[in-house]
């Protein structure tokens, strides 16, 4: 069963840009109520996926992701998803052999910058770069599905 092990940190300064790639624009929307799982459509650049992620809190969650046609994803985002899309630009930084994803949010979540790292196990060691601040892995406010209902601009 696919398991995502992910740590999430607030970004405290812009020094991450020195190691970042060009970034890719992401738009994602969610279906229905997220009590048991979040079901989302994500358009990332010119590709699209459907993703199902268990709703339990913590750094380990079941996750399933499958490619879908871009045209279908565009239709689902426009017609079937709840509320506005989450919009962000995702950058990647290699820090001591681990790839960090830095999400710079736009729209209702502008001003929020979050860095994530996927791990092979919950106790895997990794370097926390100087631009990564508070660990918010256990704070549900920072889940993308939560940002849809309670955008950062309302905090």
Q: Name the active-site residue from 30, 64, 66, 91.
A: 30
Contact of 152 with 105, CB cutoff 8 Å:
yes
* Of 2, 4, 6, 14, residue with least CA distance to 113: 14
Task: Classify 120 as helix, strand or coil.
Answer: coil
Mention every residue, 6+ apart, whose C-beta is less than 8 A from residue 63. 2, 3, 4, 51, 52, 53, 54
Judge whether 64 counts as a catalytic residue.
no
Instruction: Give bridge partners of residue 3 from the DSSP assignment.
Output: 62
Q: Catalytic amino acids?
A: 30
């Amino acid at each position: 069963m696919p398991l995502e092990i992910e740590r999430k940190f607030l970004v405290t300064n812009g020094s991450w840009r020195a190691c970042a790639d060009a970034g890719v624009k992401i738009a994602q929307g969610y279906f229905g109520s997220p009590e048991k799982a979040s079901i989302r459509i994500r358009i990332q650049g010119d590709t699209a996926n459907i993703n199902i992620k268990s709703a339990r809190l913590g750094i380990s969650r079941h996750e399933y992701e499958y490619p879908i046609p871009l045209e279908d994803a565009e239709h689902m985002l426009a017609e079937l998803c709840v509320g506005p899309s989450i919009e962000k630009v995702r950058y990647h930084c290699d820090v001591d052999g681990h790839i960090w994803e830095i999400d710079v949010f736009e729209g209702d979540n502008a001003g929020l910058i979050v860095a994530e790292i996927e791990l092979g196990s919950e106790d895997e060691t990794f370097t926390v770069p100087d631009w990564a601040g508070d660990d918010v892995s256990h704070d549900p406010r920072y889940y993308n599905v939560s940002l849809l209902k309670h955008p950062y601009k309302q905090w």
